[in-house]
Amino acid sequence: MTLAVKAVGIRKSFGSHEVLKGLDLEVAYGEVLCILGPSGSGKSTFLRCINHLETPNGGYVWVDGAIMGYELSRGALEGLPVKRLRAQQSQLGMVFQHFNLFAHRTVLGNVIEGPMVVRGLSRAEAEARAMGLLEQVGMAAKASSYPSQLSGGQKQRVAIARALAMEPRVMLFDEPTSALDPELVGEVLEVMRNLARGGTTMIVVTHEIGFAREVADRVVVMIDGEIREMGVPTHVLSNPGDPRVRSFLSRVLA
Amino acid sequence: MHHSHSSSTSALSLADLPGPDVAIRPLHHPWRWISGGLVILLLAVIGRAFAVGQIQWTVVGEFLTAGVIITGFGWTLLISACALVLGVLLGFAFGIMRLSENPILRFAAWLYVWVFRGTPVLLQLLIWFNIALVFPRLYIPGLIDARMVDVVTPFVAAVLGLGVNEGSYLTEVVRGGISSVDKGQKEAAHTLGMTPGQTMRRIILPQTLRLILPVLGNSAIGMLKFSSLAATIAMGEMLNAAQRIYFINGAVIELLFVCAVWYLAGTTVLSIGQYYLERHFGRDGAAATRERRWFKGWARRPVAPGEA
């Protein structure tokens, strides 16, 4: 088992409100980890700390041999220039709750943007690879549409293809189906299921307990900025030791 | 049975309903005709007043294509174009600065808007024109060393005055445009590994430009008209040329009308251009248009003094 991500003592406060109270987490290559928890428990913030969209106030994240945003020098963490941080961030594919597609670019334009600008691929090469990815998420037919012409489920599938285009080591999903109409949730989960089957390392913040039970290798339950339960889904979901986790699960499973 | 129309005169019983081919007479709108007629009458009165007034229309026609006027209009166009380009450049530069993480850059941009939006553009033109009184020489080591009066000609003063002033308005417009591009797209660009500069150039600014295009169209039209203020600093644009002619021949109103015709022609062409430009950039879906309409409303909203 090779580690892909190791978060150490992550703390984050917004003003006087402490959102994350020193979280540790390890994710291995090929593993699918689902983070569950009631809203306001800090699970999205934790995910955003892992890829440094939020800078943690304490602790650090190690990804594939390097510490995010810092360099270890004489026993201290020295901040990295923004360009090197961005290079690290591009190793973690991110899928957002609200898709965040580039509104002025077509579907294809969204997917080739990163490879062309950041990786320096030629347009032809980027487009060829992008079409392959769009095929994979079932959006190749819409390659020349603009985001405003797509349904939520279609947008999210394009967003997944866009993140995959950077060939990230790990894919992060921040409540990828929470903004979707109920009948559109299935098509996005299907794409994610296929990714998991293909061996993609995934950290998924979600409310979809069914998906976690079926696809996750491990689940984490967060409550009030702390990890209360961690383990294989069958164990955590059916037999949680922590009473607050039990009460949370009984509410969402009801 | 329910056949009882005797009880109420207004109730229409089924038995009395007409056939499908019944004649239909739409409501007449007599007041539309009356008000329309009144306006036409009024226009006719105004038109007649000018026709019989003390205006020599032949003189208007004669000077409409006079070389001095055409040259002046050329200068008007040139000043407007240069000032607009300068204004847009400054607007983007300071608009981006207004949203900088660096508080000193933010303050500098605020100061720029405060000073140049807070004073009359005519005053600014006069100050630029007389800047040599403050700085007799323009000296930048290794680059330029000259008398200020030679550098700041009336043309340069006009472009600086109008452009720097326009830039202060556009700074606020650009700031609003950038802010209205959804933050999520910026985050998405960052997670793809794009630097802040790449994100600004490739993701934020193209969308900002689309949002502010209608405002820029208004700026262009406004600039064409404001350039007439340069007449006061001896710049030989169209109004100044017209004045120089009527000081000699006394045909004051005739030459002012000549100017009005050319300004109207210019603004009409710009309006048409603006329409097509907006239509061209509005092709990617209705959402963009909605945003733009909203933004137009925003841009025209008077800004509260505290925001300035």
Cα distance between residue A175 and residue A96, in whole Å: 7
For A178-223, what is each residue's pLDDT tens digit?
999 999 999 999 999 999 999 999 999 999 999 999 999 999 999 9
Q: Is the pLDDT of residue B291 over 50?
A: no
Residues B163, B155: contact at Cβ < 8 Å?
Answer: no
- Give A206's contacts (C-beta < 8 A, 6+ positions apart): A34, A35, A36, A173, A175, A176, A177, A178, A212
Q: Are B195 and A86 in contact (CB under 8 A)?
A: yes
Q: How far apart are alpha carbons A94 and A63 in whole angstroms?
A: 14
Within 181-240 of B, beta carbons closer than 8 Å to A belong to 182, 184-185, 187-196, 198, 202-203, 206-207, 210
Instruction: Check if the beta carbon of residue B169 is closer than 8 Å to that of residue B91.
Output: yes
Mind listing the pLDDT tens digit of every residue in chain A (254 residues)?
A: 799 999 999 999 999 999 999 999 999 999 999 999 998 899 999 999 999 999 999 999 999 899 999 999 998 999 999 999 999 999 999 999 999 999 999 999 999 999 999 999 999 999 999 999 999 999 999 999 999 999 999 999 999 999 999 999 999 999 999 999 999 999 999 999 999 999 999 999 999 999 999 999 999 999 999 999 999 999 998 888 889 999 999 888 76
Q: Please list every residue in chain A whose beta carbon sits closer than 8 Å to the beta carbon of residue B188.
A: 94, 96, 100-102, 159, 162
Q: Tens of pLDDT along B221-263?
A: 999 999 999 999 988 889 999 999 999 998 899 999 999 999 9
CA atoms lying within 13 Å on the CB side of residue B90 = 24
Instruction: Give B194's contacts in chain A (Cβ within 8 Å).
Output: 86, 113-114, 117-118
The angle at the Cα of B12, spanning B7 to B17, to the nearest 5 degrees, equals 140
**Total residues found in chain A within this entry:** 254
A100/B184 touch (CB, cutoff 8 Å), yes or no:
yes
State residue B79's pLDDT score. 95
Mutate to test the interface with B, among A98, A117, A162, A172 (most CBs of B within 10 A): A117
Nearest by CB to residue B194, choosing from A86, A99, A163, is: A86
Alpha carbon of A251: minimum distance to chain B alpha carbons (Å)? 31
- Give the least confident one: B70-74, B184-188, B284-288: B284-288
The C-alpha atoms of residue A104 and residue B211 are separated, in whole angstroms, by: 11
Which candidate in B187, B190, B192 is best for mutational testing of the A interface (most A CBs within 10 A)?
B192
Cβ-nearest to B191 among A89, A98, A149:
A89
Q: Which of A118-122, B72-76, B150-154, B252-256 has the lowest mean pLDDT?
A: B150-154
Rg (CA), chain B: 29
Using CA coordinates, name the residue in chain A closest to B184: A100
Q: Measured between CB atoms, does B61 come within 8 Å of chain A? A: no
Is A102–B203 a contact, with Cβ atoms under 8 angstroms apart?
yes
Burial (CB count <10 Å: 0-12, 13-18, 19+), residue B46: exposed
Look at residues B273, B264, B258 and name the one whose alpha carbon lies nearest to residue B70. Answer: B258
Q: What pLDDT is attached to residue B3?
A: 52
β-strand pairing of A170-174 with A201-205: parallel
- The mean per-residue pLDDT over the stretch B85-90 comes to 96
Phi-psi region of B288 (alpha: psi -120 to 50; beta: other; left: phi over 0): alpha
CB contact under 8 A, A118 and B193: yes
Shortest CA gap B193–chain A (Å): 4
| CA–CA–CA angle A106, A112, A116 (5° rounding) | 135
Among all residues of chain B, which has the CA nearest to that of A97?
B184
**Other C-beta atoms within 10 Å of A160: how many?**
25
Whether complex ipTM tops 0.85: yes
Contact (CB<8Å) B207/A103? yes
What does the pLDDT read at residue B236?
A: 85
For residue B282, the model assigns a pLDDT of 63
B304 or B17: which leads in pLDDT: B17
| Chain A, nearest residue to B198 by Cα | A117
